[in-house]
A and B are shown apart, each in its own frame.
Chain A
Amino acid sequence: MQQTAITPPACSSQELDQAVAVIRIAGYDLLADPSGALFWPEERMLIVADMHLEKGSSYAARGQMLPPYDSAVTLASLTRIIARYRPARLVALGDSFHDTRACERMEVNCQEALKTLARNVEMVWITGNHDPEIPSMLPGTRLHKLAVGSLMLRHEPMVREHVLGSRYGEIAGHLHPAARIVTDRGRTRRKSFVSDTTRIVMPAFGAFTGGLNLLDPAIRLLFERDAFEAHVCGKTRIYTIAPDKLRPD
């Protein structure tokens, strides 16, 4: 791995153990990070989904002046977890840009930060419905999907039967899952990974990306009834939660 500057790890390995959750699919162990990123240690691969860069300016162009800092926040978060995991490969799982002109609107520092990022790792851009074209100024490979071992990485998850009938497990994004938890002590709603033994649906990584309740049929029907887990992103760690503790909106 090339790295221009040496950054110390952001936390000790012990802290890391407490923060992440191990998700096992198709025989591989992956680490779910509370930031919403997924790390595959064997492959030294870091995966982020649905960054929606420049969502703020996309709204601004239509008259709603959302703050222009979402790209900077998202990229700073990305930089932090790259420093933590030091991946060889970074896979952006689609909808990295909110629209096809997002990169043109991006502040120059953000553009530069993104280029630097993409230069220092082996960058793979998977295309999504928001970004069918990846801006040409950015280094990296462009793909519709990526097969690694027996896992298929793609933007939009396939229907359940297709995954079961395929020889690949799947890692996908697109749906922005969020978990709602209600107990007699209170309720909360957070972004979340959803997984069973064959697939993971990742939460959105972007600073302005909202979430869809993971009990919504669009997500729920991707999994067998009650045979999935939610890995909910807390402030500093992942909480793994069984389906019966989750509530619809």
Chain B
Amino acid sequence: MMTELPQQFQEWFAGQGWTPRLHQLALIEKHAQQRSALLIAPTGSGKTLAGFLPSLIALSERPKRNDKRPAGIHTLYISPLKALAVDIERNLEKPVREMGLPIRIETRTGDTPQSRRDRQRRNPPDILLTTPEQVALMVSSKDAASYFDSVERVIFDELHATAPSKRGDLLALNFARLRRLSPRLVATGLSATVREPKELQAWLSEQKSGGNFLADLILAEKSIAAPPLISIMETEERLPWSGHTCRHAAKEIYAEIKKHRLTLIFVNTRMQAELVFQLLWAINDDGLRIALHHGSLEVSQRRKVEAAMGAGRLDAVVCTSTLDLGIDWGDVDLVINVGAPKGSSRLLQRIGRANHRMDEPSKAILVPSNRFEVLECRAAVDAADAGEQDAAISREGALDVLAQHILGMACAEPFDAESLFVEVTSAQPYAAVSRKVFDDVLAFVATGGYALRSYERFAKIRKDGNGLWRASNPHVVQQYRMNIGTIVEATMLKVRFGKPRGSQFVGGKVLGEVEEYFAETMVSGDTFIFSGEVLRFEGIVGDSILVSRAAPNTDPKIPSYAGGKFPLSTHLAARVRTLLADEGSWKTLPAQVAEWLMIQQQKSILPGSAEMLVETFPRHGRFHLVAYPFEGRLAHQTLGMLLTRRLERARLRPQGFVANDYALSVWGLSDIGLRETREPGFIQTLFDQDMLGDDLEAWLNESALMKRTFRYCAVIAGLIHRNFPGQEKRSRQVTMSTDLVYDVLRSHEPDHILLRAARADAATGLLDIGRLSEMLSRIQGRIIHKGLERPSPLSVPVLLEIGREAVSGEAADALLAEAAGELIAEAIGE
């Protein structure tokens, strides 16, 4: 039997010229049956409205109360993005207003002033739109139990984006607490198309021992829209070998903007956004209204851009993933993706922004920023045409997040360890956590969890007379609330004109902010582009980067990280390999690229799709080995580290390596190609799978990457407090101390819970070990070696990335030895 909309709603739908969609009705029915459900629907299919309809109906039918006491929150809507909640408010208010429903809707984000939060506590709205961090704050407050007992529905929007992250872990834990506080709670998850819906269905359901419990699944009817029209931009200019600026394509992008009503230009990083924005304005002879939208802009400025978009007062917006997720801006008729999209799911999401209506095809143009990206864009278009998804979702909940949550629960109310354990393991990411691990995390929260039990008297949480754990003092609660959340932001430094004068400086206008790690890569005299100017780096004083204007016509040194932060997805990598191997398909590529591949074929080899090419050649007095696994930067970095260790052991004196998404290059003082000639099969053994054993362990322990991972875990878990403006504590000082803490912990308690958390993070996220392992097994016996006299065409992009990786361990000592050697050379007058 089909559910029907109440009269009032039917009329409103009819007034809009709409008929309710099947998935919208299905969700209403699920709510009536008190069943949690996952709705998977493409963007533009009325997903948002579908999510809210059950609440609107329930609230419109709610009997009037006699007393004046507020009824409490009925529906909690949780979105990963602040901008999204703002937009939803606008979309939601319309039906409420037009039907005259007695429903109060409010938002609470990190930007909501305290006075308004206080008022929301005293007089809660019917529907509260908020973020995962705010939920954590509210759930850990003392009055959480009374504040949430009225909640009947929780809506998780963009669940596919939130769930596979530490934010998702924290949200899953708070969701478990919400289920306890309001037993009538029905959950709705809204998601774009995913590879495995069951993963999200499990996330939405309470887990108990004896099975994997799933929320119901509702699939929206197949899109009636025409397939998206995706093309790759051809340019007149020469395609760069490497880099991510897309300078060469500015003219063509500009021409497309002119042809369309509203163009969204997606880039992968904030720096890229800045750059593309400047490139476009530099040629904006028609005075087109081109705006910029990214995460480090002032909130008010972002809101202004969003409002201008909504009102149709813009021609184009250059944006990062801050606009990635389901915001329905209506009039967008073209999406341009600058750089390679790195994964087909992300591409499909972004394309979904154009013509947000079911009946018109989405239109998108990909702009590759270098030659390899052309291949990747081609592969992404093919994947999108095939409707392929690549994002994996399921993950084991992070233990540092669990530590933060346990402290939060003690701040809310005293808890019994056993019942909190049951609650925590009812959250899908934590379903497999053992009581032993839970107790270890609990001990960590209380006293650091060290075998040497010397911190009992400083314990942050303690068992009281009733055996319940409670926060030791109000200071602990205050610290918890200041350190909440799972996003460890890079410390930002102000960019301002000025010259260092000792510990002071004279100057200067503030231009904006950049991440501290970007500043770390620069030395005095380096040039970079920011807010549209080429600037010369003068030095860092306090929290400011001091800069001067560079001489006219200076070429800026563009930071290498400005490229993809996202690694190439596995599915796209396989497609790129196939494309390379299939000469017949090159005709779909720009002529320059096809030519490049042809020359590669003449000078070296192009590997078959199941093979891996390894080239060796001398360059600048060093011997290089370049391998082309196409497995993404992370896996390549790991591989580079492991290869370097192996070459060291073979006494082949490696000196360094560099990796990009497609290839890696290792260089040193010995000729590996010669070794292969003398000892055929040597290179094959270099890539033996056993390198993931002891080598990995030994390297991990020393790596700078591991130390950084440890620092993030330490911050999330509350071992190290976050930095706050005004504290005058720069993150470098924290880096120093967490590195030392890491070393001490590793030698004294190698099994400490935080080391376990950091290792798990490193293995899954940062090192891509799973992927590397699959690759190593795939290429066994399939390595093609080619010894060359000089670099091959294919190797040029990776060689151009040879730069400034931080080194540690033996390599760092070698670096010191080199500097000392130079000092000696100077002394003896060489």
Q: Which residues of A contact B (CB under 8 A)?
A: 57, 60-61, 63-70, 72-73, 105, 107, 178, 181-190, 207-211, 216-218, 221, 232, 234-237, 239-242, 245, 247-249
How many chain-B residues does the 8 Å CB contact rule pick out? 59
Query: Do B448 and A217 touch (CB < 8 A)?
Result: no
In the assembled complex, the Cα of A24 lies from the Cα of B524 at a distance in Å of: 31
How far, in angstroms, from A247 to B523 measured CA to CA in the complex?
Answer: 7
**Bound form: Cα–Cα A246–B815 in Å:** 12
Which chain A residues border B737 with CB–CB below 8 Å?
A: 66, 208, 210
Q: List 14 A-B contacts (CB under 8 A).
A: A57-B454, A57-B458, A60-B447, A67-B748, A68-B450, A182-B523, A187-B804, A188-B806, A232-B816, A239-B813, A239-B816, A240-B823, A242-B823, A242-B826
- Contact of B808 with A by CB under 8 A: yes
State A48–B719 Cα separation when bound (angstroms): 29
Known: A60-B448, A65-B448, A66-B741. A234 touches B458 (CB 8 A): no
Nearest CB on A from B701, distance (A): 14
Chain A residues in 8 Å Cβ range of B503: 216-218
Is B744 a contact partner of A186 (Cβ separation < 8 A)? no
A63, A189, A216, A232: which contacts B458 (Cβ < 8 A)? A63
Q: Mark B798-826, 1 if CB is under 8 A from A, else 0.
A: 00001011111111110111111011001
Q: Which of B449, B720, B741, B809 has the most CB of A within 10 A?
A: B741
Given A67-B741, A249-B540, residue A210 in contact with residue B736 (CB < 8 A): yes
What chain A residues lie within 8 Å of B823 (beta carbons)?
240-242, 245
Kindly state the separation between the CA atoms of A110 and B800 in the bound complex, as whole angstroms: 53
Q: Which residues of chain B are near A187, meaning CB under 8 Å?
A: 804, 806-807, 815
Please state if B455 and A186 are interface contacts (CB–CB under 8 Å).
Answer: no
- Which 6 pairs of residues, A with B, have the shortest CB-CB distance? A65-B448, A210-B736, A186-B807, A239-B816, A188-B812, A217-B502
A216: chain B residues at CB < 8 Å are: 503
Of A66, A72, A190, the most chain B CB neighbours within 10 A belong to A66
Q: B740 contacts the other chain (Cβ, under 8 Å)?
A: yes
Seed contacts A217-B502, A240-B820; 14 additional CB < 8 Å A-B pairs: A57-B458, A60-B455, A64-B718, A67-B450, A68-B454, A107-B454, A185-B655, A187-B806, A187-B807, A188-B812, A207-B743, A210-B737, A218-B503, A249-B540
**By the criterion CB–CB under 8 Å, are A73 and B747 in contact?**
yes
Contacts of A186 in B (CB 8 A): 656, 804-807, 811-812, 815
Question: Does A65 contact B816, Cβ atoms closer than 8 Å?
Answer: no
Q: Which residues of A contact B740 (CB under 8 A)?
A: 207-210
What does the 1/0 interface line of B728-751 toward A look like (CB < 8 Å)? 000011001100110111011100
Q: Which residue of B lies closest to A72 (CB)?
A: B748
Question: B815–A68 contact, CB under 8 A?
Answer: no
Chief secondary structure at chain B's binding surface: helix
Q: Which A residues lie within 8 Å of B656 (CB)?
A: 185-186
Chain B residues with CB under 8 A of A235:
809-810, 813
Task: Compute how far the CA of A230 lies from the CA of B331 in the bound complex, rounded to whole angstroms.
Answer: 62
- Minimal Cβ-Cβ distance residue in B for A212: B733
B807 with A234: CB separation less than 8 A: no
B736 touching A67, Cβ below 8 Å: no
Q: A185 to B804: give the CA distance in the assembly, Å.
A: 7
A183 touches B818 (CB 8 A): yes
**Nearest B residue to A65, CB-CB:** B448
- A240, B743: Cα distance in complex, Å: 25
Contacts A65-B448, A68-B448; A190 near B816 (Cβ below 8 A): yes
Q: Let me know if A241 and B452 touch, CB within 8 A.
A: no
Q: Is B601 part of the binding interface, using a Cβ–Cβ cutoff of 8 Å?
A: no
Chain A interface mostly helix, strand, loop or mixed? Answer: loop
How far does the alpha carbon of A249 sit from the alpha carbon of B493 in the complex, in Å? 13
Question: What is the minimal beta-carbon distance from A63 to any residue of chain B, in angstroms?
Answer: 5
Residues of B within 8 A of A66 (CB): 448, 719, 737, 741
CA distance A186 to B719 in the complex (A): 30
Chain A: minimal CB distance from B802 (Å): 8
* In the complex, residue of chain A having the shortest beta-carbon distance to the beta carbon of B519: A249
How far is A241 from B733 in the complex, measured between Cα atoms in Å?
23
Given A73-B744, A183-B819, A188-B815, are A67 and B807 also a contact pair (CB < 8 Å)? no
Question: In chain A, what residue has the closest Cβ to B809?
Answer: A235
Instruction: Report B-chain residues with C-beta under 8 Å of the C-beta of A189.
Output: 736
In the bound complex, what is the Cα–Cα distance between A240 and B825 (angstroms)?
13
A185-B460 in contact (CB<8A): no
From B448, B539, B820, give the contact of A239 (CB < 8 A): B820
Bound CA–CA A239/B822 (angstroms) = 11
Candidate in A61, A65, A66, A234 with the most chain B CB atoms within 10 angstroms: A65
Q: A208-B744, A210-B740, A245-B823 are in contact. Are A61 and B816 (CB under 8 A)?
A: no
B539 touches A248 (CB 8 A): yes
Which of A69, A107, A186 has the most CB atoms of chain B within a 10 A radius of its CB? Answer: A186
B329 to chain A, nearest CB (A): 42
How far apart are the CA atoms of A245 and B732 in the complex, in Å? 20
Complex CA distance for A247 and B804, rounded to whole angstroms: 14
Report whether A64 and B721 are in contact in the complex, using a CB–CB cutoff of 8 Å: yes
Cα-based distance from A236 to B813 in the complex (angstroms): 9
Shortest A18–chain B CB gap in Å is: 11
B704 to chain A, nearest CB (A): 9
Cα of A218 to Cα of B810 in the assembled complex, Å: 30
CA distance A182 to B817 in the complex (A): 13
**In the complex, A211→B749 CA distance in Å?**
24
Interface assignment of B476: CB less than 8 Å from any CB of chain A:
yes
Contacts of B809 in A (CB 8 A): 235
Interface contact B736-A65, CB-CB below 8 Å: no
| A64 contacts B719, C-beta separation under 8 Å | yes
A63-B479 in contact given A208-B744, A242-B823, A245-B823 (Cβ < 8 Å): yes
Please report the C-alpha to C-alpha distance between residue A234 and residue B810 in the assembled complex, in whole angstroms.
Answer: 9
Smallest CB separation, B214 vs chain A (Å): 39
Known A188-B806, A210-B733, A239-B817; judge A63-B476 contact (CB<8 A). yes
| B520 interfacial by beta-carbon distance below 8 Å | yes
* Residue in B closest to A247 when the chains form the complex, CB atoms: B523
Chain A residues within an 8 Å CB radius of B455: 57, 60, 65, 68
In the assembled complex, the Cα of A65 lies from the Cα of B822 at a distance in Å of 43
Chain A nearest Cβ from B505, distance in angstroms: 11
**In the complex, what residues of A have CB within 8 A of residue B736's CB?**
178, 189, 210-211
A contact residues around B748 at 8 Å (CB): 67, 69, 72-73
**CA gap between A248 and B503 in the complex, in Å:** 12
Contacts of B741 in A (CB 8 A): 66-67, 208
Quick check: is B62 within 8 A (CB to CB) of the other chain?
no
**Residues of B close to A73: CB separation below 8 A:** 744, 747-748
User: In whole angstroms, what is the CA distance A73 to B746 when docked?
Assistant: 12
| A211 smallest CB distance to B (angstroms) | 6
State whether B476 touches A107 (Cβ < 8 A): no
Q: How far is the CA of A189 from the CA of B826 in the complex (A)?
A: 23
Query: Given that A185-B815, A188-B807, A241-B819 are known contacts, is A69 also in contact with B452, CB under 8 Å in the complex?
Result: yes
Which residue in chain A gives the minimum CB-CB distance to B821?
A239
- Point out the residues of chain A lying under 8 angstroms from B744, CB to CB: 67, 69-70, 73, 207-208
Q: Is there contact, CB below 8 Å, between A248 and B452?
A: no
Beyond A67-B744, A107-B454, A182-B523, whether A245 also contacts B819 by CB under 8 A is yes
Is the CB–CB distance between A241 and B523 below 8 Å?
A: no
Closest beta carbon of chain B to A248's beta carbon, Å = 6
Measured CB to CB, the nearest residue on chain A to B805 is: A186
Asked if B475 is at the interface of the complex by the 8 Å CB criterion, the answer is yes
Bound CA–CA A10/B150 (angstroms): 70
Compute how far the CA of A242 lies from the CA of B825 in the bound complex, rounded to whole angstroms: 11
Q: Which residues of chain A have C-beta atoms less than 8 A from B733's C-beta?
A: 210
Quote the shortest CB–CB distance from A194 to chain B (angstroms): 15
Interface centre among B452, B503, B748, B819 (most CB of A within 10 A): B819
Report chain A residues within 8 Å CB of B822: 242, 245
* Residue among B444, B503, B815 with the highest chain A CB neighbour number at 10 A: B815
Q: How far is the CB of B781 from chain A (nearest CB, A)?
A: 34
The reply to whether B813 and A63 form a contact with Cβ atoms under 8 Å apart is no
For A105, what are the chain B residues with a Cβ–Cβ distance below 8 Å?
454
Cα-based distance from A190 to B815 in the complex (angstroms): 12
**By the criterion CB–CB under 8 Å, are A241 and B820 in contact?**
yes
